[in-house]
Chain A
Amino acid sequence: MQIDISRFRDSFFVEAAEHLENMEAALLQLEGEPENTETLNTIFRAAHSIKGASTTFGMDEVGKFTHVLENLLDQLREGVAKASDQLVELMLTSVDVIEGLLAAEKENADPPENVDEVISALNEAFQAATGGQSLDGPSGTICKAVNDPAKPSNVTVYEIQLLPSREFFCFGQDPYLLLRELAEMGHLLDIQADSSALPPLAEMNPEHCYLHWTIKLQTEATEAAIHDVFMFVDEATQWKVSQATASDTPKTSEIDSATETPADADSESHTYQTTPVAESTDDSTRAKPTTSPKSSMRRTISAGENETVRVDRRRLDELINQIGELVIGTSMVEQDLASFGAGRESAAMGQLGKIVRDLQEMSLSLRMVPIAATFQKMARVVRDVSKKLGKEVQFITFGDETELDKTVVDQIGDPLVHMVRNAVDHGVEMPEDRERAGKPTAGRVELRAFQQGGNIYIELQDDGKGLNRKTLLSKAIEKGVIDSAENLSDNEICNLIFAPGFSTAAEVTDVSGRGVGMDVVRRNVEALQGSVSIRSEEGKGSTISVRLPLTLAILDGLLVRLEHEVYIIPLLSVVESIRVSPDQIKRIVGVGEVITLRGEVIPLLRLHQALQRSNGHDNEDGLLVIVEDQGRRMALMVDELLGQQQVVIKNLETNFRKVPGIAGATILGDGRVALIVDIYGVSLMHRQPTNGTPASRESTSLDAINSSTQHAVVESNTDPNSMTAS
């Protein structure tokens, strides 16, 4: 019977990724405490889940690979082998390989190159583990059984009853796979299908499973191992495993009863001993029998506890969008009502408004996820990089449970990897250097997340060598990032590492230092409407601080009027707003207009000139909004301040394209569209008045006229605008 399982594929990939994540986390944990059986079990469970599901979906490569890994894991669980550092390393590599294999399946790409290499390494490790314990009692493993045929074996005949649920097939399960797995464990003596539940043909639902099976299996495996086969069947499916004696009197053990040890193995089955062994000697992928009762792994369903529902991301976004619309719609109604008759409707309207706001808040929280998973990945990065470089690093995280918008969490991963790599590579010194400097040999890298106001801060602190100001400066001058070292504050010097094309590593290593690191970090963080800065003390270490908005969907904005249009300036960038008289605006050739605020010279940008098409407009009011972008201040001249408001951000690229100087749009309470000013983009327009931003290279003649007049104002004093100002 053919079931269309393709629609389950996507959720399989999502689940598999989660399993891999868990596996990786557990492996890292295992490194610290190699004896922890619970951790081992977690790893095993994850591997087994991936194996089972991938086989169901026909991804044999994944299934085969995971099976080999599982074999090794089984040995570890048994306590036959020790989870040495090499083994953990190997298994971590295996996680990468599985990830690669899955990606290959997903995108129809080539599988990773090192698959065979890792498989043979795993097999070797497995052989080493099993070979090394041949005197260790009756652990029924392939090699041992072959090497040591004189040992009494634990072959038992089990009677297994499989009662699949009606919906068995709907869960993507196949009884044949289960039977095959059982057959691999030993020798199938008998299988009987019970078709008595089959309804008349007319009433039969072809997607239901009506058959039951009774299987007699002769195997060395323990009962627990047999239960393991059924580990991932759906909840309604039942199975019973009982030991059958030669006379076929089943000694029933209920599903939920404790696993029996195979101590009371049937000695009569001795005659069968060679059969399964001979069959399986060259079949290294066969399921491993186990002896330890504590390794019995049964699926436990803890219902009710932290139950989750998987929802398509797009649907969620749509819901959040619609609720955003509801908020706007409500305020439109509110305004309409207010214009009809004053105040009378306010009670009901007020309540509605409150419900809608609560609803919006709730909807936004739906997308919040803890940052723990991302931090977890960093643990792996630290481990790999420090091993590669021969450094000792102690990695500590705080605030794993801090919640962030899923979009932010997804996109912060790459920049964090860069940062963490840099910290380990460039920050933390080699052990001997540390010792010379009187520090503990093991470096300390700390990753913290916490919320402060409407922002999330992620801080990465290392106790390494810190930034060398001199090197930074000479490098920056050499690379043409700055012209001279003058006028740079200590803080500004440190933040030079975020400049494009800047890398302080003396030589390019394969860990970091391609000169794309930190400026990419900055770009990515800024794309998330965040900012990044570094504090550093030479010899003591550095702290990189990343500020991120709680959510990307909503922005606190300052509404300003420019001629007839409303623009929104992100409140986060706003420092203050002031009013100046025209004679306070000074003109500096080559820089443009500036104002002096409490001794600080701040460039002035007439926002209407930069943003509006018309520029024949005079600001006599001198209303300025001081904004800050990456530590640089800028004064924006606007016509009027209208107030503060939370706005729902709409992407302009969805239906149009990126607009220089504009970060997005939003819909105001009255249904109008208002544009959100991109401070960074606007400051670029200001700095290069002739070129504009790269995106506007092909801009129209009008644009060119616009910017050239602006330029002309700066260079010569013939423009009427300049007359009023000077």
Chain B
Amino acid sequence: MTSDIDLDQESPAQGQLAGDSHQFLTFTLQEQEFGVEILRVQEIKGFTRVTPIPNMPVCIRGVMNLRGTVVPIVDLRSKFNMPEAEYNQFSVIIVVNVEQKVMGLVVDAVSDVLNVNRDAIEPAPDLGQNVDTAFITGLAKSGDRLVTLLNIEELLMHDQEMAVAS
């Protein structure tokens, strides 16, 4: 079983010290790298049993028990229209705090923490009207890696399909 890593203690301090540079927790989905702002991340958990919720969009995998709290789990693969994957012990749930709600994101694997300077973030490319890029903060380059930085508030709270706030 994957052990839980608690980021609660160190993350806020580091995030504040960084000043103009922001820290992102990066993870992979279908070989692609994504990043979420580390201040939003509460903890990282191994994949556990998820109870499906009826009549929900496919990307809402269900709810899990996080020490007594019922936490909804969002499948980012299906959210981004990627092929479904078999979840195993290497799959990871990133538990995030968004607008006072606790939610989990299922991802393939967590990579590392990336320091990104604000001016090193490139805006999301305009992919035409058919592609919604509202939940992409921008792209960050680190060496030869290209990381898509996600705006999870936009992704989880204001997205039509998720409609969590409703």
Contacts and interface: CB of A to CB of B under 8 A. Distances in A.
B165 A667 contact: no
A410 B68 CA distance: 26
Given A665-B70, A673-B70, A698-B163, A652 B63 contact: yes
B67 interface: yes
A187 interface: no
Contacts of A695: 166
A655 B56 contact: no
A674 B72 CA distance: 13
A146 B70 CA distance: 72
B interface SS class: loop
A654 interface: yes
A650 B53 CA distance: 14
19 contacts: A322-B68, A324-B68, A325-B68, A611-B55, A612-B52, A650-B69, A652-B63, A652-B70, A654-B70, A656-B72, A657-B165, A657-B166, A659-B56, A665-B63, A667-B70, A671-B49, A672-B65, A674-B51, A706-B55
A624 B102 CA distance: 36
Contacts of A613: 52, 54-55, 58
A655 B72 contact: yes
A659 B101 contact: no
A interface SS class: mixed
Which 9 interchain pairs have the tightest Cβ spacing?
A611-B54, A325-B68, A673-B51, A656-B72, A650-B70, A665-B70, A655-B101, A700-B57, A673-B63
B107 interface: no
Contact of A699 (B55, B70, B71): B55
A627 interface: no
Nearest to B54: A611
B44 interface: no
Interface centre among B62, B67, B69, B103 (most CB of A within 10 A): B69
B161 interface: yes
Interface of A: 321-322, 324-325, 328, 565, 610-613, 650-652, 654-657, 659-662, 665, 667, 671-675, 692, 695-696, 698-700, 702-703, 706
Interface in B25-61: 49, 51-58
A258 to B, nearest CB: 59
Contacts of B7: none
B89 interface: no
Interface centre among B55, B69, B160, B165 (most CB of A within 10 A): B55
A565 B101 contact: no
Given A612-B52, A656-B164, A662-B54, 14 more contacts: A322-B68, A324-B68, A612-B54, A652-B63, A655-B71, A657-B164, A659-B53, A665-B70, A671-B65, A675-B53, A699-B55, A700-B56, A700-B161, A706-B55
Contact of A702 (B57, B67, B69): B57
Contact of B63 (A325, A656, A700): A656
Contact of B68 (A321, A651, A655, A672): A321
A604 to B, nearest CB: 18
Interface string B127-166: 0000000000000000000000000000000001101111
B33 to A, nearest CB: 27
Contacts of A702: 57-58
Nearest to A650: B70
A662 B69 CA distance: 17
Contacts of A698: 160, 163, 166
Nearest to A703: B55
A610 B58 CA distance: 16
Given A655-B102, A673-B63, A661 B163 contact: no
Contacts of A661: 54-55
B55 A655 contact: no
A660 B163 CA distance: 13
Contacts of A660: 55
Contacts of A612: 52, 54
A675 B51 CA distance: 8
B57 A565 contact: no
A671 B67 CA distance: 9
Nearest to B104: A655
Contacts of A699: 55
B54 A610 contact: yes
A667 B160 contact: no
A554 to B, nearest CB: 15
B101 A672 contact: no
B105 interface: no
B64 interface: yes
Contacts of B103: 655-656
Contacts of B64: 673
Nearest to A563: B52
A232 B57 CA distance: 60
A586 B72 CA distance: 38
A507 B68 CA distance: 52
A650 B69 CA distance: 8
Nearest to A670: B49
A237 to B, nearest CB: 43
A672 B53 CA distance: 13
Interface string B104-126: 00000000000000000000000
Contacts of B161: 700
A655 B70 contact: yes
Contacts of B70: 650-652, 654-656, 665, 667, 673
Given A328-B68, A671-B65, A673-B65, A659 B102 contact: no
Nearest to B58: A702
A5 B71 CA distance: 39
Contact of B49 (A611, A672, A692, A703): A672
A655 B65 contact: no
A573 B28 CA distance: 46
Nearest to B160: A698
Contacts of A651: 70
Nearest to A674: B51
A675 B55 CA distance: 13
A671 B164 CA distance: 25
Contacts of B101: 654-656
A204 B54 CA distance: 66
Contacts of B163: 657, 698
Nearest to A651: B70
Contacts of B102: 655
Nearest to B64: A673
A613 B102 CA distance: 24
